[in-house]
Copies of this chain bind each other. A is one copy, B any other.
Amino acid sequence: MSPKITTELLKQLRQVMKNPKYVQEPVQAYIVPSGDAHQSEYIAPCDCRRAFISGFDGSAGTAIITEQHAAMWTDGRYFLQAAHQMDNNWTLMKMGLKDTPTQEDWLVSVLPEGSKVGVDPFIIPADQWKRMSKVLRSAGHDLVPVKENLIDTIWTDCPQRPCKPLIMLDLSYTGVSWRDKIVALRSKMAERKVMWFVVTALDEVAWLFNLRGSDVEYNPVFFAYAVIGMNTIRLFIDGDRIMDPAVREHLQLDSTLEPEFKIQVMPYGSILSELQAVGAGLSPKEKVWLSDKASYALTEAIPKAYRYLTPYTPICIAKAVKNASETEGMRRAHIKDAVALCELFNWLEKEVPKGTVTEIIAADKAEEFRSQQKDFVELSFATISSTGPNGAIIHYKPVPETNRTLSVNEIYLLDSGAQYKDGTTDVTRTMHFGTPSAYEKECFTYVLKGHIAVSAAIFPNGTKGHLLDSFARSALWDCGLDYLHGTGHGVGSFLNVHEGPCGISYKTFADEPLEAGMIVSDEPGYYEDGSFGVRIENVVLVVPAETKYNFKNRGSLTFEPLTLVPIQTKMIDVNLLTQKECNWVNDYHQKCREVVGAELERQGRHEALQWLIRETEPLVRVQ
């Protein structure tokens, strides 16, 4: 990887930072955040402005350019990658290290008095604007919105914003019609006494209208906003995709409907002016509900006194609790996904010893097997296919420069998943195709104990996921080992593989309580730098638990694994497991054998079935 040469680009940017065509007054600093106008985790190529200006294309990072400096803030996952991808014009700001200044503090330390700091108001979330603006103002500077994105002015070959056809999901997938979702949303609005709700997150728009898209890689979403009133529905979306008769039928655009369910379709770009019109027409006590992560531009469109901001929207919370149709779809998707992985691992077992399988080949093979399954749409994230030392790089993605050949001497870690029309998968397995060392088995077994501790945990209704995080670490901690990432994230239903508002992490305190029907991942790990990585990940469904005393009728919850892929028993040091843990593994493998076995049989995949049967032989504790 050679760094991108950015000298000329930075020169051009610094010129437009003073150009009255774009800025009312010159700005002394310009912030280039990671995200798009919807605060998406995965963004379209046209939104990769930070990567364009710096060369650094990791998923998280903020660039700030001043007259004299160009600095990039990113976190521990990306220190190495950012250092490789950026040239000497850039200073890497390692977030999470003690001496690294915050963006605000750094700006205060380098800017001349009374500076203006510019940012695209559509890209910066309102809560972040508020925080930065406060610090800058107290130091005598000003954060100012620059309407035209300055990167776009110098990005001559910027790709077009994608505008791909829409996918309609019928009731058999969604369980609830978009009309009923609007009714439920309006009832939440009435509860909070708000008159309008602005849908800004792409997965929330997609979920609400039972539509999917492919404007962004991995996330089946499309560029759109929506504004829901108590009597109106406005959908802001571009392109002739809305002319597709099937889409018009799905949204009942040409039907005679009660006015409150009539969808008005408007251009994507008109959201700001339409919202400003809404804001200008509000009567006293009429509130508008927005996520506090919505862009500063849209938030400002509503006068402050009329805003109702929450960290999680009612759609985000409703979307997280899967109904019976969604849960059944997720189950089906996970069985198909398991079939693909049984095929893959059976294939790897035969091919790896030949020395011809690289990380990239393995990842491609995984995609190939998945794509043979019914309703396969695309991958749900970039496959992490990593062997040996690459496994210790938590967000590794194999590229030709780093591509390593799998062998019988190294651990192989595969974290992968797919979008099927009936569900989203995300699974990590760590395998050895030769003989693992005692230390590798020891580490794997601690990670497995942590995985089981979360998966088998029983907890009262109303418990937040972050309270379970330490269960995943306890066995590692006892031996002085740990991993520096959270234990789990919410998973969408044929939607984003990472979604709020629940999760299992020591870092999250604003998570919503776990409820039956929520779906999260359970993925503890251990990483030995320069040597190997271990992670064991299942997607699990929150289900009611049976307990002896049932929390005085408060009710209790536990998890049911949706992922049904064998955990390599060769990697387990059985004597480090308790009998209870041993039983958990055996019960899990029994279920894999029964459920996935039946599907392998049905699909006539006999060799993979034999592999599954071999891999699910019960463990026996010697002690």
Write out the residue numbers on chain B whose beta carbons fall within 8 Å of the beta carbon of A458.
477-478, 480
Question: Which partner residue on chain B sits nearest A509 by CB separation?
Answer: B509
Write out the residue numbers on chain B whose beta carbons fall within 8 Å of the beta carbon of A556.
477, 480
Q: Does A277 contact B (CB under 8 A)?
A: no
Write out the residue numbers on chain B whose beta carbons fall within 8 Å of the beta carbon of A469.
467
Interface residues on A, range: 20 to 34
A151-B550 Cα distance, complex, nearest whole Å: 47
Q: Does A255 contact B (CB under 8 A)?
A: no
Distance to closest chain B CB from A476 (angstroms): 9
Q: Does A257 contact B (CB under 8 A)?
A: no
Write out the residue numbers on chain B whose beta carbons fall within 8 Å of the beta carbon of A549.
479-481
A458-B470 Cα distance, complex, nearest whole Å: 11
Q: What are the interface flags for A432-476 relative to B under an 8 Å C-beta threshold, 1 for contact and 0 otherwise?
A: 000000000000000000000000011110001001111101100
Q: Let me know if B482 and A551 touch, CB within 8 A.
A: yes
A318-B479 Cα distance, complex, nearest whole Å: 30
Q: Does A97 contact B (CB under 8 A)?
A: no
Distance to closest chain B CB from A159 (angstroms): 42
Q: Does A305 contact B (CB under 8 A)?
A: yes
Distance to closest chain B CB from A329 (angstroms): 30
Q: Let me know if B460 and A474 touch, CB within 8 A.
A: no
A556-B509 Cα distance, complex, nearest whole Å: 24
Write out the residue numbers on chain B whose beta carbons fall within 8 Å of the beta carbon of A478.
458, 547
Copies of this chain: 2
Tell whether A480 pairs with B547 under 8 Å between CB atoms, given A470-B467, A470-B470, A474-B471.
yes
Q: What are the interface flags for A545-556 relative to B under an 8 Å C-beta threshold, 1 for contact and 0 otherwise?
A: 001111100101
A469-B470 Cα distance, complex, nearest whole Å: 9
Write out the residue numbers on chain B whose beta carbons fall within 8 Å of the beta carbon of A68.
none
Q: What are the interface flags for A478-498 relative to B under an 8 Å C-beta threshold, 1 for contact and 0 otherwise?
A: 111110000000000000000
Q: Let me know if A479 and B509 touch, CB within 8 A.
A: no
Contact partner of A547 (CB less than 8 A), chosen from B457, B474, B479, B547, is B479
Q: Does A506 contact B (CB under 8 A)?
A: yes
Write out the residue numbers on chain B whose beta carbons fall within 8 Å of the beta carbon of A547.
477-480
Tell whether A305 pairs with B138 under 8 Å between CB atoms, given A459-B477, A470-B468.
yes
Distance to closest chain B CB from A461 (angstroms): 10
28 pairs, A vs B, C-beta closer than 8 Å: A138-B305, A457-B474, A457-B477, A458-B477, A458-B480, A459-B470, A459-B473, A460-B477, A460-B480, A460-B482, A464-B506, A467-B470, A468-B470, A470-B470, A470-B471, A471-B474, A477-B547, A479-B547, A479-B548, A480-B548, A480-B550, A480-B551, A480-B556, A481-B549, A481-B551, A482-B551, A482-B554, A509-B509
Q: A457-B474, A481-B549 are in contact. List 13 more A-B contacts (CB 8 A).
A: A458-B477, A458-B478, A459-B470, A459-B473, A459-B477, A460-B477, A460-B480, A467-B506, A468-B470, A470-B470, A470-B471, A480-B547, A480-B551
